[in-house]
Structure 1
Amino acid sequence: MRSVILGIALMVTATGALAADRLVNVTKLEYGKQWAFTREEVTLQCRKGEALFVLNNSTLMQYPLNKVAEEQVKAGQQRAQPLKVILLDDANNPGQKMSVQPFVERATKLCSD
């Protein structure tokens, strides 16, 4: 019984921590040819200090979208994989990855909401 109560308490705490972050799901359908990710749907996050992350919804792994997020990862404040792991190759520019600028702009708006 104690383990059930402890589990519920941990879930409530974790849910509260997630609620502090601003999130939005985005899909390939919304962005069409601008879509930059290997997944059909991802979540954009604005975290403390305006650190922007993209979250792979199926694995829950996060990837930094801006310098603030990269610095938090380097400082050990966040755990994340390099963004290039989930970026598509740009068919129009061989050897380059797709631009994440539209997603950085959308995630930045979350910080001001």
Structure 2
Amino acid sequence: MKKMALLCIALGVSSSAMAGIETVSRFDMGKENWPFTREEMMLSCEKGNVLFAINDGTLVQYPLNAEAEAKVKAGQMKGVPVEKMLADDPAHPGQKKSLAPIIARAEKLCN
């Protein structure tokens, strides 16, 4: 029930129709592929291939691609830079983990 309520709120946060939404976790993606500091995030694909990660606790949106960043910059959607949620990459000190696995998973929601 909580997930359904969060989904309804997330739909209200967006100004455009959502093509897809999915909750993913560190367990789903594997520790090596998980780039976030949280254990679980929601992924969304908005109309026009606009990809966001959403903190399911606060409903803050984090743009995952240039299209999403452009919408946030233009004030058409709300969002916070994703770097605030990225974990450090232990294999590459001073760098953050790659978003590539998350972006690939979010892009599947657009189909």
Deviations 1:46-77 (A, max 9, x none): 01211000000011100000000000001101
Partners of 1:35 and 1:104 lie apart in 2 by 11
- Identity of paired residues, percent? 48
Segments of 5+ residues of structure 1 without an aligned counterpart are: 1-13
Paired residue for 1:9?
none
Partners of 2:99 and 2:74 lie apart in 1 by 23
Q: Which amino acid aligns with 2:85?
A: I
Q: Which amino acid aligns with 2:49?
A: E
Give the alignment of 1:62-77 within 5 angstroms.
62-77=61-76
Segments of 5+ residues of structure 2 without an aligned counterpart are: 1-6
How big is the alpha-carbon RMSD for the aligned residues of Structure 1 and Structure 2?
2.0
Answer 1 or 2: which has greater helix percent. 1
Paired residue for 2:3?
none
> How many residue pairs are counted as aligned between the two chains?
99
Partners of 2:28 and 2:51 lie apart in 1 by 19
Q: TM-score, normalised by structure 1?
A: 0.81
Partners of 2:34 and 2:61 lie apart in 1 by 17
Structure with the greater alpha carbon radius of gyration = 1
Higher relative contact order (CA 8 A, sep 6+): 2
Tell me which stretches of 4 or more aligned residues in structure 1 moved more than 3 Å: none
Paired residue for 1:94?
93
Question: What displacement does 1:31 show?
Answer: 1.6
Paired residue for 1:18?
11
Partners of 1:18 and 1:78 lie apart in 2 by 12
Further displaced range: 31-40 or 87-96 = 31-40
Q: Which amino acid aligns with 2:57?
A: S
